[in-house]
Amino acid sequence: MKVWTIEEIKNWQESQPYRVGANFVPSSAINQLEMWQKESFDPETIDRELGFAEDVGMNAMRVYLHDLLWEQDSSGFCERIDRYLEIADRRGISTMFVIFDDCWNQSFALGTQPEPKPFTHNSGWVQSPGVRIVNDSSKWERLERYVKGLLYRYRNDERIFAWDLYNEPGNGTSGDDSLKDEKQIDRSLPLLKSAFEWARSVGGVTQPLTSAIWNFDESFARINEFLATHSDFISFHCYASPHVMVEKIEKLRVHDRPLFCSEYMARGQGSSFAYTLPMLKRFGIGAFNWGLVSGRTQTIYPWGWTEEKGEPCLLFHDVFSRDGGFLYPLEEAVIREVTGVQKYVV
């Protein structure tokens, strides 16, 4: 399977509804492992929280997987993926799964996951497969089995609208776009290339492939060039103000492929529902904000936040509290205006 032609990917886009949703992990999970392991998989919470999204018209979610879960028990993992997809589909929600991830903690294990560190953004989020394996190609055989096995099983599943092969390649333990202290940069490029090669080798895959451009610095030029020329549609991350986002959009438009913003919305950074989401809709760019329901990931706290700072004046990410109420009620009208789903009043 080759990169889709511009005509093919534009025809695909025209067949799709406008995609608006969130990066989703249930509030009961601190990371990908806790979300998907048999002992902590929580379909009741998943159903309830996707119901919050359905109510405001969100029709898509970006959801992270993890390689260790496939290695441990691929059949059981797929059973839980199937259960999630059944719930999401019933809620009118399509999914883009994320396969690899360079962000946050590089030391992790299956089993009971750590408790959240007080006042700490994403204290328990884990990389996949982790920097040590990313940098050691002799350990990639199981990763190849994972990518090929996953895509083959779900190659024509209409509940999945796309595959995001690698989240923020070249990122490091800081996990965001402003606190770079241990960047991988080009060291992640070989695995990124292999992930696309493995995925393209699977016959019959009906969903497009992508991986987001997330850092526009010149030091990421090689990775960004690869992403722009090997993704079927071009996805990107931007937590900056709308005028900065427009500058990035203009740079990406030269490739003449559909665009999708797979991460945005950081209150206090200038990235908001009020100004960013309507702009993305106007440009026809799909949108996934970070975080649906405030929970164990603690992404209501800004990057680099500490306990000494206390509660932030403005919550950073997430849309809902666990009871389904909006963290900021004024955002409800903005989201409903974009989705076209009005509030039902008895």
Residue 301 vs residues 117, 173, 182, 229, 338: alpha-carbon distances, Å: 11, 17, 21, 35, 26
What's the pLDDT at 75?
99
Residue 324 to residue 310: CA distance in whole angstroms: 24
Residue 67 to residue 145: CA distance in whole angstroms: 10
What's the pLDDT at 205?
98
Domains of the chain: 6-339 (3.20.20.80)
Reading the chain (346 residues) residue by residue, the pLDDT tens digits are 899 999 999 999 999 999 999 999 999 999 999 999 999 999 999 999 999 999 999 999 999 999 999 999 999 999 999 999 999 999 999 999 999 999 999 999 999 999 999 999 999 999 999 999 999 999 999 999 999 999 999 999 999 999 999 999 999 765 554 444 456 788 899 999 999 999 999 999 999 999 999 999 999 999 999 999 999 999 999 999 999 999 999 999 999 999 999 999 999 999 999 999 999 999 999 999 999 999 999 999 999 999 999 999 999 999 999 999 999 999 999 999 999 999 875 5
What's the pLDDT at 182?
53
What's the pLDDT at 144?
99
Residue 17 three-state SS: coil
Residue 38 to residue 216: CA distance in whole angstroms: 38
